[in-house]
Structure 1
């Protein structure tokens, strides 16, 4: 059965430079809070890292919209983001998820912080043959 897992991370943007921790081949992978280099690799993290596991696209989109609204007040470049906007992002996300493509959003925030929100297609994922984290 096709479903999704939702993941988020917010932290210092410079921390993402620690690419080794963001790759599953790294010894630091399992303990690192950093988002993976490839969105599909979130599925290799423990299920406890998933913020939600919706069964329907609509629920995954609602989760994304909630994450977006949480960070709006601290956007580093709110005028630039307003040119894209939530409605457009959700339209593209819907098309992607319906087509089996993972969605990853990233935003620079004030004080050098960065936020990511991702929805990963599961069972199957078109980018990797990772097992569902709920079934490991």
Structure 2
């Protein structure tokens, strides 16, 4: 198994466009899903997106945790509810990430930002993924 990292930042209202966030059932045209910058509804479906959407391919959980921590710290000044995030804490979040990735479980973080924006970061287990039989987008 290896890992791929993805992120998206945009308006919370954009997330309501669910048709762009769900891969269509065959034989429908997957164009809208594939071309959309929106995060998929299911974390594992990031693997269906084009390889250019992969932001990092960590060699293990520690590197994936570093990637997530960087994204978290970059967004931190814009958190809508910094007190809530402070109560959860980055260390607690990262502990859950370590457990999840070692168990082969995808990780998805979503945090509301000021001005109606939202940041979504995902670390997806690939080849195999426990939730879907998607091929590796990088191969």
Report the TM-score when normalising by structure 2: 0.94
Runs of 4+ in 1 over 4 A off after TM superposition: none
The residue aligned with 1:3 is 2
Report the TM-score when normalising by structure 1: 0.97
State the superposition RMSD in angstroms. 0.7
- Name structure 1 gaps, 5 residues minimum: none
Q: Which residue of the other structure, out of 49, 53, 57, is the alignment partner of 1:49?
A: 53
Q: Does 1:102 align with 2:106?
A: yes
Matches within 5 A, 1:64-75: 64-75=68-79
Q: 1:56 Cα shift? A: 1.0
CA distance in 2 between counterparts of 1:55 and 1:133 reads: 16
The residue aligned with 1:111 is 115
The residue aligned with 2:84 is 80
Aligned length: 134
Q: Secondary structure at the match of 1:14?
A: helix
CA distance in 2 between counterparts of 1:3 and 1:91 reads: 19
